[in-house]
Chains A and B, each alone.
Chain A
Amino acid sequence: MTPTTPSQPDNRVVVHLDKLLLARGMTLTELADRVGITVVNLSILKNGRAKAVRFNTLTAICEVLDCQPGDILTVE
């Protein structure tokens, strides 16, 4: 599965959420339930349509997926 490329022209941050979900055998809905944010918002993040991520969202995702922010986001 390829990482999601950013949709904004100036944004070169790539989100690897789908790769992490696949590795943990977790669905987006399950992650949304455990993190406490909506599937719609997580989908926006996964598909690279988010313009910003709150620190508390990132912390919650990292806690659930047992990873570091650098595992989720990289700069192309």
Chain B
Amino acid sequence: MPNPRMRDPFAPIEVAVTSLLGIFGLSIVGFVLLAGFQFALNGHTQVSFATVGDPSSCVVTDAGSVPRFIVGGSGVRPSEGIEGLRRSTASADTDEWRICLTDANGLQWAAARVEPIGNVASLLVTLLLIRGIIRAARQSGLFAYATARRLRRLGWFLLLLAALGPFLAAAARGTVIAAAVRGESWTDQLAHPHLSTSLVCVALGVLTFARILRLAIPLQEEVDATV
């Protein structure tokens, strides 16, 4: 019989995951309704969700990752447009460029959407995997092989996401930049993949915890069989 004074260990994460999934679902429903309403009225829509519905094909990249654009370009830096900047006592700079294609082909259109859609999709998959772990733990118990297996699956997913996601995003970003900037190749961005060391640490932490859980299962079984 569970101790009524003992707090549910899954309550905080379950509330967070359920809330995020709810917000996610509401956003999609809201987007579909609003876009459909606008489309029915005007024949086109101005709302977008993770760049879906966005008419332009844009990517955001580090200023330093497009050297020709910075050094040889004659464009105005965004910081120069700050109104009221006291140039005698202050300076401002930007480390990001937003590069948009006005007439993107199908591949470039898709490439511009890889990163934002990928971010949303990976968040959704992560939330669903966490919900799966919570459900497995509630059904089979925390110290169960099913729970450990699901936790391990989440760890591998996060590790693959941390290792491959940035390169896929960089290749997609490079495709748009190569079309927008003369002398740029889609492979140039692969040198600036924006690897997330914190995500790698989290993934390794989850994998380690899954391994500890698997080792703890026989110990828990012994405790359960102790009278």
Interface assignment of A20: CB less than 8 Å from any CB of chain B: no
- Interface stretch, picked from A21-29, A45-53, A63-71, is A45-53
Instruction: Report the bound CA distance from A52 to B222 in whole Å.
Output: 8
Instruction: Report the bound CA distance from A53 to B225 in whole Å.
Output: 9
Interface size class of B (residues with CB under 8 A): under 10
Interface assignment of A74: CB less than 8 Å from any CB of chain B: no
- Convert B82-123 into 0s and 1s, putting 1 for each residue whose CB lies closer than 8 angstroms to a CB of A: 000000000000000000000000000000000000000000
- Convert A28-56 into 0s and 1s, putting 1 for each residue whose CB lies closer than 8 angstroms to a CB of B: 00000000010001101100011111100
Residues in B whose Cβ lies below 8 Å from that of A44? 225, 227
Known: A49-B225, A54-B227; 14 extra A-B contacts, CB below 8 A, are: A37-B227, A50-B225, A50-B226, A51-B222, A51-B225, A51-B226, A52-B222, A52-B225, A52-B226, A52-B227, A53-B226, A53-B227, A54-B226, A57-B227
Residues of A within 8 Å of B, CB-based: how many? Answer: 12
Instruction: Report the bound CA distance from A2 to B222 in whole Å.
Output: 26
Instruction: Report the bound CA distance from A57 to B227 in whole Å.
Output: 7
Residues in B whose Cβ lies below 8 Å from that of A52? 222, 225-227
Instruction: Report the bound CA distance from A51 to B223 in whole Å.
Output: 8
Q: Which are the 9 A-B pairs with shortest beta-carbon distances? A: A51-B225, A52-B226, A45-B227, A50-B227, A41-B227, A53-B227, A51-B222, A57-B227, A50-B225
Instruction: Report the bound CA distance from A52 to B225 in whole Å.
Output: 7
Ordered by A's residue number, 8 sampled pairs between the chains whose C-beta atoms are within 8 Å are A37-B227, A51-B222, A51-B225, A52-B222, A52-B226, A54-B226, A54-B227, A57-B227
Instruction: Report the bound CA distance from A44 to B227 in whole Å.
Output: 8
Residues in B whose Cβ lies below 8 Å from that of A45? 227
Residues in B whose Cβ lies below 8 Å from that of A49? 225
Residues in B whose Cβ lies below 8 Å from that of A37? 227
Closest to B224 in A: A51
Instruction: Report the bound CA distance from A8 to B222 in whole Å.
Output: 12
Give the Cβ gap from A11 to chain B, nearest Cβ, in Å: 11
Instruction: Report the bound CA distance from A50 to B225 in whole Å.
Output: 5
Residues in A whose Cβ lies below 8 Å from that of B226? 50-54
Give the Cβ gap from B224 to chain A, nearest Cβ, in Å: 9
Instruction: Report the bound CA distance from A42 to B225 in whole Å.
Output: 11
- Convert B211-226 into 0s and 1s, putting 1 for each residue whose CB lies closer than 8 angstroms to a CB of A: 0000000000010011
Instruction: Report the bound CA distance from A49 to B221 in whole Å.
Output: 12
Looking at B222, B225, B227, the one whose CB has the most chain A CB atoms below 10 A away is: B227
Residues in B whose Cβ lies below 8 Å from that of A57? 227
Closest to B1 in A: A38
Instruction: Report the bound CA distance from A37 to B225 in whole Å.
Output: 14
Closest to A50 in B: B227
Closest to A58 in B: B227
Give the Cβ gap from B217 to chain A, nearest Cβ, in Å: 14
